[in-house]
Amino acid sequence: MSVDQKTVRHIARLARIAVRDDELEALAKELNGILDWVEQLGEVETAEVEPMTSAVAVAMKMRDDVVKVENLQKEVTRNAPGAEDGFYVVPKVVE
């Protein structure tokens, strides 16, 4: 895929970026370089590569899932602008 100056101008307009005419050629070369690099990435064999969430192996810190039987209803609704019977009171928005 090749990007020409007309395409760069169109992309800049879509992105609402002001680009002068003397910058178009340099931007076209830069975008073509990026697209060539992305095309090279498509050639890399990744079928045997395990998915990962980080470049560094880190064990996730976990805590025990302990159920606490507490009624926090009053604490939760204490700072609400409006509460009634332990529930938030909000204005009606759907008729």
pLDDT of residue 2: 87
Where does 1-95 have alpha helices with state H? Answer: 5-14, 24-42, 73-77
Q: Could you list the pLDDT tens digit for every one of the 95 residues in the chain? A: 689 999 999 999 999 999 999 999 999 999 999 999 999 988 999 889 888 888 888 888 898 988 888 888 888 888 888 888 888 999 888 87
Token representation of residue 22: 């003397």
Closest by CA position to 12, among listed 32, 28, 1: 28
pLDDT of residue 28: 96
pLDDT of residue 12: 95
pTM of the shown model = 0.50
CB contact at 8 A, 5 and 25: yes
